[in-house]
């Protein structure tokens, strides 16, 4: 898989995760006693980042060869460049 293809898949994954932001924030708001979350926005940021990093790890693992440390760093760097956009999307809610 080329780096361009990998970035496209990661971007789609991040966009899908970001689409869940309103529902997660509502779920936390409606179930405050269950979640006991002090900062719902930071909590949702963690969920979205976990989804992005986790799905990207699955994508890398599905390749013919084991992902190298360099592959993992590339994925991390691609995801990290979206952090400002992810945070903006969460905190505007």
Q: For residue 24, what pLDDT is reported?
A: 95
* pLDDT, position 70: 87
Number of structural domains (the chain) is 1
d(CA 49, CA 4): 21
Residue 57 in tokens = 């790890």
Predicted pLDDT at 43: 96
Distance of CA 58 to the CA centre of its chain: 13
Contact call for residues 52 and 14 (beta carbons, < 8 A): yes
- Residue 87, pLDDT score: 96
Q: Which domain holds residue 39?
A: 3-91
Predicted confidence at residue 55, as pLDDT, reads: 87
Could you tell me the mean pLDDT of each successive run of 10 residues in the chain, 93 residues long? 84 92 95 94 96 86 81 90 95 84
The predicted model scores a pTM of 0.86
């Amino acid at each position: 898989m080329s780096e361009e293809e990998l970035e496209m898949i990661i971007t789609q994954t991040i966009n899908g995760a970001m689409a869940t932001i309103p529902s997660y924030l509502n779920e936390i708001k409606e179930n405050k006693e269950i979640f006991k979350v002090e900062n719902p926005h930071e909590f949702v940021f963690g969920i979205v980042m976990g989804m992005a990093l986790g799905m990207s790890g699955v994508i890398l693992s599905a390749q013919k060869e084991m992902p190298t440390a360099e592959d993992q760093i590339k994925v991390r760097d691609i995801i990290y460049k979206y952090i400002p956009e992810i945070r903006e999307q969460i905190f505007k809610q």
